[in-house]
Amino acid sequence: MNQKLDLSLILPCFNEGETFQENVPKILETLDSLRLSYEVIFVDDGSQDGTRGLILSALTQYPDKTLRHIFHEKNLGRGAAVRTGFAAAQGSVRGFIDIDLEVRADYILPCWLALENGADVAVGRRIYRVYWHSLFRHFLSRGYAGLVRLVLQLPFRDTESGYKFFREEALAQLLPVATNPGWFWDTQVMTYAHRMRYRVVEIPCLFQRRFDKTSTVKPFREALAYLRHLWRARIELRSRPELLVRTQEPAAHGQKRPNHPGRPEASTLISASR
């Protein structure tokens, strides 16, 4: 692929058979409406429910679109799946979203515009619609967000959102240091983005939990793992300051990229953090 694409969207997949056929057309419809050149990379992380067959069918169903796939032979974790997709991406902007669309695909545009407007990283900050039967998960999420801010001294409201977009140049600096293969990768990459002084913009997004699908999250086990990773990350940040040094400077903060005919105009967005 020789021509530079505007956007690479990574869709990490693990046992997504319950929502795949419903949501992939919605994602592609949203991308088509943006008037950008794009690719979608499906990264299957060892699914056991037929997701791989659905991915191959999608590639056949949409021959006019740039869709690619990468299959992990075994389950390596969310961070590993995202990193695999980013390593293969060709776009000037590279991002990923959760294919269950608990945060709708509509927020891709605000994230892309934030980067066009000078941000290095754009993240969907989840605004929760809370239900009684999801209160426990909600309190766990909010409690973890508070711990992250306290332990790692981060200004962000939501490091764990599965809705992140990066300028190619910033991602090239972050991937070598953000290497956790599991769910903690999200916290790790946000920590390094902040410590390396990249401009991060949080975009408020409505989050609607789906109760019609099987969750792959194991709250108690993963909560304990998160606490261990948080402590190790704090120690690493203190003991290895060389990890926080960029090898290249990104474009100046606030500097807009040139707009191109037919593309949406960049606009000033909210919740910027340095």
Q: For the chain, where are the E strands, in sequence order?
A: 5-13, 38-45, 67-72, 91-97, 121-128, 163-167, 200-207, 272-273
3-state secondary structure of 69: strand
Query: Three-state secondary structure along 202-215?
Result: EEEEEECCCCCCCC
Residues in the chain where the model's pLDDT stays below 50? 1, 252-254, 258-261, 263-274
Three-state DSSP state, 17: coil
| Dist. CA 73–CA 227, nearest whole Å | 29
Confirm if 42 and 89 have CB atoms less than 8 A apart: no
**For residues 125 and 210, is the Cβ–Cβ distance under 8 A?**
no
Rounded to an integer, what distance in angstroms lies between the CA atom of residue 202 and that of residue 163? Answer: 10
- Specify the pLDDT at position 220: 61
Considering only CA atoms, which of 79, 115, 86 is closest in space to residue 259? Answer: 115
Q: Quick one: 45 exposed, middle or buried, by C-beta within 10 A (0-12, 13-18, 19+)?
A: buried
pLDDT of residue 258: 47
Domain 5-273: assigned CATH number: 3.90.550.10
Which sequence spans correspond to the domains of the chain?
A: 5-273
Q: How far is CA 186 from CA 104, 237, 254, in A?
A: 19, 16, 24
So what's the pLDDT on residue 138? 55
Query: What order do you get walking across the sheet with 91-97 strand by strand?
Result: 67-72, 38-45, 5-13, 91-97, 163-167, 121-128, 200-207, 272-273
